[in-house]
Amino acid sequence: MTKILKVNWNAADLKVLKTLTSPYKIQQFLDKTEYNSTHETRSPRYVMQLKRAHCMEGALFAAACLENIGFTPLILDLRAENDDDHVIAVFEVDGFWGAIAKSNFTTLRYREPVYRTLRELTMSYFDFYFNTLGDKSLREYSLPFSLTKFHKINWQTTENDLAEIGDKLDKIKHFPIVTKAQIKKLEIAGDYLLKSSLFGSNPDGLFVPKAK
């Protein structure tokens, strides 16, 4: 847990935050939001106001809510090939890692805090991380990235675009999870899994992969 810092939340923000008292309640809020297909990165305040988010905005929102209930605001980058990267908010309970996420794919969202390492947590996404062709695309994960360094720009409530956070996240150390030899042997995701993972997705927000 971390010391809660004073944030310039307004009354409307606090009304929402008052209900988000656990990681899973934060996830449930995100699950009810529309998927944002634009390239803007709005602050958590605007996610609450507009009820719309893509994965980066969802991760920032979740991290802000986690910080509000005493966790360190941490995000993690999952790097993909021929697919969108995915950003998740991670949290630790009794030494085990879990995650909250917004995704156009139903399989890339919440993870219970039962994973001993961040690599274990990342690998829980592996078989469910594929593009619209069914190609399994997850390749790397980053170090956990603390958002406390961005408090000076009021990342939780600012009206400004927060693309700079994503840019800095992309530049930190990432760790490979599969070898080139393993990549060549990966199977295509089954049609049943692909269809179920896209349930309720926003077509405008889907990555268009290059055919092999």
pLDDT value of position 5:
59
* Planar angle of CA 120, 66, 176, nearest 5 degrees: 25
- Are the C-beta atoms of 204 and 114 separated by less than 8 Å? no
Mean pLDDT of the chain: 97
Q: What is the pLDDT along the chain (212 residues), one digit of tens a residue?
A: 444 458 999 999 999 999 999 999 999 999 999 999 999 999 999 999 999 999 999 999 999 999 999 999 999 999 999 999 999 999 999 999 999 999 999 999 999 999 999 999 999 999 999 999 999 999 999 999 999 999 999 999 999 999 999 999 999 999 999 999 999 999 999 999 999 999 999 999 999 999 87
Token pair of 28 as six digits? 């449930």
Tens-digit pLDDT profile for residues 118-131:
999 999 999 999 99
Residue among 87, 78, 86 nearest 178 (CA): 78
Residue 155, classed as helix, strand or coil, is coil
Residue 77, classed as helix, strand or coil, is strand
Token pair of 118 as six digits? 């961040």
Is the dihedral angle over the CA atoms 108, 180, 205, 212 positive or is it negative? negative
